[in-house]
Amino acid sequence: MSRFFRNHRGKLAITALVALALATGVGLGPHLGFTASARTPLWSERTVDVAAAPAVGPNWVELVSKLKPAVVNVSTKRMEARPHMRSPFGSGDPSDQFFREFGDQPRRSVRSMGSGFVINANGHILTNNHVVDGTTEITVKLSDGRELSAKVVGRDPKTDLALLKVDATGLPTIALGDSSELKVGEPVMAIGNPFGLEQTVTTGIVSATGRVIGQGPYDDFVQTDASINPGNSGGPLINARGQAIGINAAIFSQTGGSVGIGFAIPSNLAKTVVTQLADTGHVSRGWLGVSIQSLTPELAKSFGLTETTGALVGSVTDDSPAMKAGIKAGDIITEFDGHKVARSETLPRLVAETPARREVPVTVLRDGKTMKLTAKVAKLDEPDQKVASDASEKGKLGVAVEPVTPAVARELGLKETRGVVVRRVEDGGRAANAGIRSGDVILEVDRQPVKDVAALKRIVDKHPNGTPLLLLLQREDGTMYLAV
């Protein structure tokens, strides 16, 4: 049964489970990364010294006084297209084209608000990716009233995490705790800016751990009944020791408000992501090359098994690490690099956190027999590749694109799998100024076919400076030329 929700930009949407994007809009118009290195971490791991807690629970009053100053308000500005107008009589009405052209108005400025928290005294702030995605301006308001401009150090859409930096020192911080130690029923506290109400504190318990809610390949959410609402995105979920054990990210709701079911990204996952974002600005992941599915009781019985633990291999990619290791469709992966694979959702996180070119042991069940294999993990080739608009890329486009795979073609209703689809347009860049939109498919550049992302970059880089690029785009059911 579908559930209705509103996301942080105020658009009505339908999902099978949750309302992601908790940043509140004020209109003006799949475990990730490498494991943390042995160096001193970017974040603190201290606990907060408080007076002896009363028998009824943690001393939230003293914890709030110590930790609330480290929670910040993240205010953003982004440019969004105005809604397209349509004929009230449907797409078949002769006047529909007029309405569509009339609706192509200049984009409007939209402000949004979310939360974040300081993880070290030198100004690094952790928040959600959806709070800052597509923004042209980020302002962080500290608890002392200062408003500072923030820059994005790095973002990771697949875990919905982002690392910001402000020019300040000596800031109060919140430590990142060990989310693997969380127990269901444990008391927790959320601090954030729901609906723009700054420094709001709510409490509850851990309702569940390891939740898979369909938001990405690496779902591993902490569920809580501590009240979180639009604007809480990026704020900390804090345990009784004063440590952030989660980053609030999503809610289940039929109304857009809290109904007591919220989800936070575990702090241990955030640690691996933050380490890489601080070092390189992006996250690298391991790749095995298998498609997997859960082992249901019916499937287990068909394979002659009495338990449903493990990840059932549905297919193996040609020339992948899995194929080279001897993994086959129908195998059940029960261990990876010494870690038990109790559920199929566990495997993608384990593979993703494994450094590329590392050889790891893999245990599989095949025809009722246990087999020990060795796989050399490769680097995951992320499909979303940016053709940058800075000087190093000759400043030509400013779009994020991905190949038109069969799955993408089905998503967009395309008949062919050629070209690259625009997933994001950089605000203020030449592509945006020329009228390129998210969802456009770039078929040709300078009358040369664009087969993939690499071809697009090669053609753009060879184009002489001072002359416009000629692009052939597919938009909806037609094609059009644009000069950039």
Give pLDDT tens digits for 93-120: 555 555 555 554 555 667 888 999 999 9
Q: How is 235-293 classified by DSSP, letter by letter?
A: -EEE-TTSEEEEEEEEE--SSSS--S-EEEEEHHHHHHHHHHHHHHSS---EE--EEEE
The alpha carbon dihedral of 199, 203, 205, 211 has a sign of negative
At the topology level of CATH, where does 1-281 sit? Answer: Thrombin, subunit H (2.40.10)
For residue 73, give the 3-state DSSP assignment: strand
Percent of the chain at pLDDT > 90 equals 43
Range of weakest confidence among 82-86, 200-204, 310-314, 384-388: 384-388
Q: Do 1-281 and 385-483 have matching folds?
A: no
448-449/124-127 β-pairing: unpaired
CB-side neighbour CA atoms (13 Å) of 282: 8
Question: And the tokens for 65?
Answer: 């006084």
Looking at residue 14, what is its pLDDT? 30
Q: Name the catalytic one among 130, 253, 258, 331.
A: 130
With residue 454 as reference, give the H or E element that holds it.
Answer: helix 453-462
Q: What is the pLDDT of residues 232-248, one digit of tens each?
A: 999 999 999 999 999 99
CA angle 228, 47, 240 (to 5 degrees): 40
* Cα gap 188→190, rounded to integer Å: 7
Rounded alpha-carbon distances, angstroms, from residue 476 to 53, 199, 332, 376, 421: 61, 44, 42, 42, 12
Q: Does residue 427 have an active-site annotation?
A: no
Q: What is the pTM of this model?
A: 0.68
**For residue 291, how many other CB atoms are within 10 A of its CB?**
13
Check whether 172 has a pLDDT greater than 80. Answer: yes
**Which whole number is the average pLDDT over 44-65?**
77
Structure tokens at 453: 């992302």
Please give the angle made by the CA atoms of 91, 93 and 96, to the nearest 5 degrees: 65
Tell me the domain boundaries of the chain.
1-281, 286-379, 385-483
Residue 53, pLDDT score? 52
pLDDT at residue 257 in the model: 76
Phi, psi dihedrals of residue 17, rounded to the nearest 5°: -145, -55
The CA-based angle 137-138-144, given to 5 degrees, is 140
φ and ψ of 136, to 5 deg: -105, -10
- Within 13 A of 152's CA, how many CA atoms are on the CB side? 20
Dihedrals phi, psi of 191, to nearest 5 degrees: -125, 135
DSSP string, 326-339: T--TT-EEEEETTE
Ramachandran angles phi, psi of 414, nearest 5°: -90, 150
Query: Which CATH number applies to 385-483: 3.40.50.1980, 3.40.367.20, 3.30.379.10, 2.30.42.10?
Result: 2.30.42.10
Query: Which residues lie closer than 8 Å to 111 by C-beta, 6 or more apart?
Result: 25, 26, 27, 28, 75, 76, 77
CATH of domain 286-379: 2.30.42.10
**Catalytic annotation on 160?**
yes
pLDDT at 342 over 60: yes
Question: How is residue 472 annotated by DSSP?
Answer: E
pLDDT exceeds 90 at position 74? yes
Contact 116, 70 (CB under 8 A): no
pLDDT score of 266? 95
The sign of the CA dihedral 170, 77, 74, 382 is negative
Q: CA-CA distance, 278 to 39, in Å (whole number)?
A: 13
pLDDT of residue 385: 44
Nearest to 271 by CA among 117, 44, 30: 44
Give residue 56's pLDDT.
63
Instruction: Tell me what percent of the residues of the chain surpass a pLDDT of 70.
Output: 80
The pLDDT tens digits for 2-40 are 333 333 443 333 333 344 434 444 443 333 333 444 567
Which tokens go with 176? Answer: 């990142």
Note if 392 is an active site residue: no
358 pLDDT above the threshold of 80: yes
- Could you say which of 133, 156, 160, 225 is catalytic? 160
**Annotated active-site residue in 115, 179, 233, 258:** 233
| Average pLDDT, integer, range 284-302 | 90
Mean pLDDT is lowest, of 51-65, 153-167, 304-318, 354-368, for: 51-65
Residue with the larger pLDDT of the pair 148 and 280: 148
**How many other CB atoms are found less than 10 A from the CB of residue 54?**
9
The reported pLDDT for the residue numbered 209 is: 92
Average the pLDDT over 249-274 and give the result. 88
Q: What is the pLDDT of residue 13?
A: 35
The string of DSSP codes covering 294-322 is E--HHHHHHTT-S---SEEEEEE-TTSHH
**Rounded to 5°, angle at Cα 221 from 220 and 224:** 155
Residue-wise pLDDT tens digits, 296-329: 898 888 888 888 999 999 989 899 999 999 999 9
Dump pLDDT digits (tens) for 47-56: 777 666 555 6
Between CA 352 and CA 379 the distance in angstroms is 9
